[in-house]
Amino acid sequence: MSELKNDRFLKALMRRPVDRTPVWMMRQAGRYLPEYRAVRAQAGDFMSLCKNTELACEVTLQPLERYEMDAAILFSDILTIPDAMGLGLYFETGEGPKFRKPVRTEADIDALEVIDTASDLAYVTDAVTMIRRELNGRVPLIGFSGSPWTLATYMVEGQSSRDFARAKTMLYTQPELMHQLLEKLSLSVIDYLNAQIRAGAQVVQIFDTWGGALSHAAYAEFSLAYMQKIVDGLISHHDGRDVPVILFTKGGGLWLEKMADTGCHALGLDWSTDIAAAKGRVGDRVALQGNMDPAVLRADPAVIESQVESILKGFGAGSGHIFNLGHGITPDINPDHVKVFIDAVHKFSAKY
């Protein structure tokens, strides 16, 4: 593998000194970019794009052609694992992901097999290998997975949900069933992320998108415990380097100390958490990633710049900050505003 020309992101994850705060965006390869929309139209639909190695590589690299980012993130979807388990993933325009065979009963869960990434999801690792080669050491490559709880919510509901009524009903009325499902998912995620690491991912992020929907006690038992199991099961050193792990629970500001206890290297923060307060609580133990509200990108350039500067000032001096949005960029954003955002991080962060 080629030598890394820009390791700012990896250094910040390990809380080592950097010349400026590294920056990337969740969902940086996406519908806000006209060039992405063109390739997606060429592919036909979203999953066809994910499964086409060359096109998945092309869209992963698109934001790096436009902006001075410090990392690339694999173009894929968190629902590849339940799809590989045979649930029949499909997407309806304007409605998000759905499953033809949701998981509702003990028999449904018994029928699920822990995935073998090499045979079930080779298109993902093929994409990782190609992207890493095409990056040629330009920036590090991030691999990722959904958390077991987040994957379980989609599998039980059969689609995205506002209140997770079915998933929470299973959690409270048949907790042993939910634990069985989460156990199979955590073993699948470990296999999946380790396969991505072996294929060339230099960092991995676990997206616990719906952990924040849980109660305090339920979060510890049904989300964090399984992320702990994953952190413990991951390859920690590969290709001559440590492989940092980022945990991101949307709405997880209450549990930062417990998340840091897992042994992860960084915590992703959403915009509801004050970064200065977060640094005061856990900043000497983990790096912090975040955390501008994606909606700020709809504002005028001056507002975007002031919000960037405010977050940098909140984190303050010292290493261990990766600038990011508090969740994924939305499709309606003007690409020129993203440039303002990236440039502002470069402009203001050197002094910190």
Report residue 238: phi and psi, to 5°.
Answer: -155, 145
Cβ atoms of 341 and 26 closer than 8 Å: no
Cβ atoms of 240 and 7 closer than 8 Å: no
DSSP codes, 249-291: ETT-GGGHHHHHTTT-SEEE--TTS-HHHHHHHHTTTSEEE--
Q: Which of 154, 192, 219, 226 is catalytic?
A: 154
Structure tokens at 79: 């629902």
Q: Which of 27, 37, 281, 285 is catalytic?
A: 27
31 marked ligand binding residue: yes
Cβ atoms within 10 Å of 334's Cβ, excluding its own:
11
228 marked ligand binding residue: no
Structure tokens at 10: 């990896």
Q: Is 162 a residue of the active site? A: no
Cβ atoms of 203 and 140 closer than 8 Å: yes
Q: Which of 8, 15, 20, 40 is catalytic?
A: 40
Q: Is 20 a residue of the active site? A: no
Cβ atoms of 148 and 189 closer than 8 Å: yes
Q: Is 27 a residue of the active site? A: yes
Q: Which of 37, 66, 77, 116 is catalytic?
A: 77
Structure tokens at 213: 């929907």
Task: Sort 121 into a burial class: Cβ within 10 Å, 0-12 / 13-18 / 19+.
Answer: buried
Residue found by looking up tokens 């997975």 in the block: 145
Amino acid in position 234 = L
Q: Is 37 a residue of the active site? A: no
∠ CA(312), CA(316), CA(322), 5° rounding?
Answer: 55
Q: Which of 31, 37, 166, 285 is catalytic?
A: 31
Give the residue among 60, 78, 80, 62 at the shortest CA–CA distance from 129. 60
| Residue 334 backbone class (left: φ over 0; alpha: ψ -120 to 50; beta: rest) | beta
16 marked ligand binding residue: no
∠ CA(230), CA(76), CA(18), 5° rounding?
Answer: 70
154 marked ligand binding residue: yes
30 marked ligand binding residue: yes
Residue found by looking up tokens 């998340």 in the block: 259
Which of the residues are catalytic?
A: 27, 31, 40, 77, 154
- Binding-site members for substrate are 27-31, 77, 154, 209, 327
- Binding-site members are 27-31, 77, 154, 209, 327
